[in-house]
Amino acid sequence: MPDELVYPKLHEACGICGGCASRVPLAYLTCLALYALQHRGQESAGIAAGNGLGDRLWHHRGLGLVSEVFSQITDLKELSCRTAVGHVRYSYQQEDRRLESSQPLVLRYRYGELAIGHNGRLLNGPKLRAELETEGAIFQTRTDSELLAHLVARQATPDLEEALASVVPRLKGAFSFVLTDGQKVIGLRDGYGFRPLSLGAIGKNGYFLASETCAFDTMGAKYIRDINPGEMVVLDGQGVHSRQLLDRSRQALCVFEYIYFARPDSNLQGRNVHLVRRELGRQLAREQPVEADLVSGVPDSSISAASGYAEQSGLPNEMALVKNRYIGRVFIKPTREMRERGTDIKLNAVPKIVQGKR
């Protein structure tokens, strides 16, 4: 059965983060990182944290923006933890917008607890899920995070790294994962590097992973490098350990990251997103010049491209559209009806700028 018949229009472009560090308010810093990644998902947010002592994982998640989900959590700075992972979620599928599907998912199995956050989509997820259900597995959600947990739980080894090394080659599609068992944090990226994931340094001998580098700026971390396609990185008290799990056939970062998903102040593949968008605007002006009176970007993603088009064409760059800052990103709403309704209340033209103009 085709994937789209099993998971109709189910796509994810969420924000994930997580780190391992001592003597820093890690849960609080993870929350700051989620604020920086809020543009990647507005349906739910969550954090899971472990103290490294084998105790149960602390976790909190909910529907809504980061500010809404954590408005009543006042003790994040005092929460004693050594590891933490965070997630903000975006899905096209309205009926799957449930608290149960918000992440990080925290699941208990025979070797302890796992918290998992995921960005992307497993193309063979429905097939793997069907195989597991035939073997008796019971799923509570339709997320790939839960699917990964079931696959890990079926491995004979208690070593999480070895279990993942056996499981990850079975995964087909675009994905980045962050996981913690309370002792360490593990980051995974698919063999094409379709979804971004970067590594930063925080505090003294601490490390942090995030979907975008803008999260490091917000929380005071220092960017180190991008996680390689097909790479597994392990963050623990001894530093960063790397292992290549999948062949790097070719780099294939999703083009929508540069065009829409990523924040302009983030860097992808060593290139600033704003500068890339501006150059795209310049190239568009070279290839498709038009007779016009002005150039205007549609807030916010095309502002950079509009500036490049205006520079190259010599046309004035005007603010012809005003954005209602209290409306979230419209394109990532789950249904077409919601996207159209959101656009109506999100953007308004400036009459004096556009009247009588080409």
Which positions are annotated as active-site residues? 14
Which residue type occupies 113? E
Q: How many angstroms separate the Cα of 39 from the Cα of each of 14, 258, 343, 349?
A: 9, 13, 16, 23
Alpha carbon distance 227, 214 (integer Å): 15
Contact between 95 and 7 (Cβ < 8 Å):
no
Contact between 126 and 1 (Cβ < 8 Å):
yes
Alpha carbon distance 252, 243 (integer Å): 20
> Under 8 Å CB-to-CB from 6, ≥6 apart: which residues?
126
Contact between 116 and 103 (Cβ < 8 Å):
yes
Closest CA to 192 of 232, 246, 229, 245: 229
Q: Which pairs count as long-range contacts for 123-131, CB under 8 Å and 24+ apart, including other chains?
A: 123/3, 123/172, 123/173, 123/174, 124/170, 124/171, 124/172, 124/173, 125/3, 125/7, 125/173, 126/1, 126/3, 126/6, 126/7, 128/170, 128/171
Dihedral sign from CA coordinates of 280, 282, 283, 289: positive
Contact between 308 and 285 (Cβ < 8 Å):
yes
Residue 313, SS3 per DSSP: helix
